[in-house]
Chains A and B, each alone.
Chain A
Amino acid sequence: MVAEQTRPDITYQGTDAQQALAERTFQVIRLQGMFASEYAPIRVKLDALAGFLEASESDILEAVRANAQVFTVVEEEDTTWVVSSRHGTPPLDVVPDTRHSFAERFMTPVPAPERPLRTERPEPELVVNTEIGDAIDDAERESARVDRELGVEDGADAGAGLTVELISEAPETVEPEAVAEPAVEEEIVEEPEAAPVEPAVATGPTDFSQYSDEAIATAIENTLRSDPRFANFGHLWMPEERVERLSRGNLRSLADYINEQEQPLTDDVLVQDVLGVRRSSSEFETMRFSMNYRLSSERNFEFLGTRDQPFWGTTDLQPIGTTRRKASDIGTDYRYLVDEVPAGSVKPRSVKSVEHTLTFYEFTYGLLPLDARMQALLPAPMMPDQRSAVLMVEIPQFDNSVYLVEVRYPTHNRGGFILGLDDFYEEKLVPGAMLSIEATDNDGQYRIEYLEDEEKQDRFLELDDRRSPKYVFRPLSYDTAVAEEWLVTEDRFPRFAQEKPLSEKQRRRIEEVIEATFLRIGEQDGKNWIAAFDDLLVAVNIERPASETYLRSAIENMPSVTDDGSGILTYDPTA
């Protein structure tokens, strides 16, 4: 808003009369254009001025022309205009400046600068001394010779980009040009016609018609696993450069999620829940492979899966299964299986189902032995250094329960076993129960079934290890089929009542367990103890696991035990 009107300070030219007339003329023009902007032209007709100022037109024209810094006279046909502005300056010619207009720039665009899409990096220069230069030359000549023998046609490129600059103290002894020029190029480029190369056996596609799929698959695995361009996880492959990377935050989130769930989780669950890639996404398979591949080299994560059902755990996760005995001690108890089932002697997943009768030891710790039959049912470890695998076991007859069990694979000094069935055993079964373990199409999923029977009750042996460990008999009812010869009841072995378990040292030695068992179940005959082999087998399996083969082998090597050939054994403590 204009707060104050100011009149321009104008010095008029001419005579006094002309100055006075010019000033009055300017006042009339300002009055005419009182709402005009400062520099807008204000036009007044000469005759109107003459009438208003009561002066002659000629006097006004002379006064105006004497003050050209204020006025302009414009002739239009028969009308004369006196023009000025409120600022007291003659109006400027208003010519639109189109030199930099938007339209002009569209009509005449500046051509785009010519730039290469990608800037080539300069070839690195290697500066070496003469000795190393000679060694490089020798290596290149040798490489060229090998390439020619193998029929590598593009060997001429060998050594390209390598410039040898001499920094020897005695450069005059060597022609720099001779060294800088790779000898390889000369030989390879100039001599191919002179020495035609026979197609080498090592190149070109191989004729695989004579080989089985298994042989080719083995060749692929043997070759690509040592090639850093290939990423491998289980039976899957990807180019290493296409494998997605996991951030430290991703790894932390994966570990936290597994630990929060307090159990190993499958790769499906982890990719969806933690990495946020849906199963329907086109990236899902690639992301799942990438996660499996990356986690396999992380020390905080442990692969616990099979080919069809990859589980991942962390080092912070509680182990699956009983807490009554350490897994390493159970593995030591099954040491005999390492000798009974040598590594590679059983083909994994070669049988569909296995029948098994529970021993007291297996019942107590909720496990199954990884003997020859069970190894033929289950998959081999998928990873080279895999210690264990988590399997899903469905028990349709037991409220459709699904258990996560852990297979502990055998090592060179510990036998294998399956942990995690203690709840099921305790709630449904008794020692001596008969089970059927069946494989499914998924090598990580199995089914356990049992025969149902009319409900019975008996007093069964139990290990009471709450305070001072001891064996006790307690009544149990059961409605599943059992193998009578494997029942551990009070009627059969009454002297086990209140017995304390053998020490760890005694348990480790099968001979000591056999001797102690004779005293617990045998009939005394003078200084000897007599027991049937079948009873001894069941009762030894109270303290520690032992197969029939292992027990017979042990007894044969014990001079204190004799077999009359009918299955009745005699133990002479003094022998």
Chain B
Amino acid sequence: MANDTGIPELTSEDIAVLLEALRAAGRPMTTQELVEVLRAAANR
């Protein structure tokens, strides 16, 4: 789902995926790494 500016809106499941990825990483992650996490989760 996207808003008028062409920026996607994250769902609660997307946010849960990001939180889980950060917990599993055990270290700080960059925004770009989180982008890749979302893309990978969507492909699954």
Contact = CB atoms under 8 A, between A and B. Distances in A.
B41 A237 contact: no
B30 to A, nearest CB: 5
Nearest to B27: A285
B13 interface: yes
Interface stretch (A204-212, A298-306, A448-456): A204-212
A238 interface: yes
Interface string B1-31: 1100011111111110111001100111111
Given A213-B35, A239-B23, A205 B8 contact: no
Interface stretch (A215-223, A322-330, A425-433): A215-223
A206 B38 contact: yes
Contacts of B38: 205-206, 208, 216, 220
Interface string A426-448: 00000000000000000000000
Interface in A217-265: 217-224, 227, 229-230, 233, 235-239, 242
B13 to A, nearest CB: 5
A235 B15 CA distance: 17
Given A236-B28, A236-B30, A286-B27, A219 B9 contact: yes
Contact of A221 (B15, B23, B31): B31
Contact of A217 (B14, B15, B27, B32): B32
A206 B44 CA distance: 11
A220 B30 CA distance: 11
Contacts of A220: 10, 18, 31, 34-35, 38
A242 B29 CA distance: 13
A101 interface: no
A289 B35 contact: no
Interface residues of B, number: 31
B41 A205 contact: yes
A211 B8 contact: yes
A100 B10 CA distance: 68
B29 A236 contact: yes
Contacts of A218: 7
Nearest to A152: B12
B31 A205 contact: no
Most-contacted residue by chain A among B6, B7, B32 (CB, 10 A): B7
B6 A215 contact: yes
A216 B1 CA distance: 12
Given A202-B1, A213-B32, A224 B39 contact: no
A86 B17 CA distance: 87
Interface in A188-210: 201-209
Contacts of B12: 202-203
A224 B18 contact: yes
Given A206-B8, A285-B27, A286-B28, A238 B22 contact: yes
Contacts of A206: 1, 8-11, 14, 38, 42
Nearest to B6: A215
Contact of B8 (A204, A219, A236, A238): A219
A281 to B, nearest CB: 12
Contacts of B15: 223-224, 227
A209 B32 CA distance: 15
Nearest to B24: A239
A233 B28 CA distance: 10
B19 A230 contact: yes
Contacts of A215: 6-8
Among all A-B residue pairs, the 5 with the closest Cβ atoms: A236-B28, A289-B28, A216-B35, A223-B10, A217-B31
26 contacts: A202-B9, A202-B12, A204-B13, A205-B41, A205-B44, A206-B1, A206-B9, A206-B14, A206-B42, A211-B7, A211-B8, A213-B35, A219-B9, A220-B18, A224-B15, A230-B19, A236-B29, A236-B31, A237-B22, A237-B28, A237-B34, A238-B22, A285-B28, A286-B26, A286-B27, A289-B28
Given A206-B11, A208-B39, A237-B28, 8 more contacts: A202-B9, A206-B9, A206-B10, A211-B7, A216-B35, A221-B31, A236-B28, A238-B28
Interface of B: 1-2, 6-15, 17-19, 22-23, 26-32, 34-35, 38-39, 41-42, 44
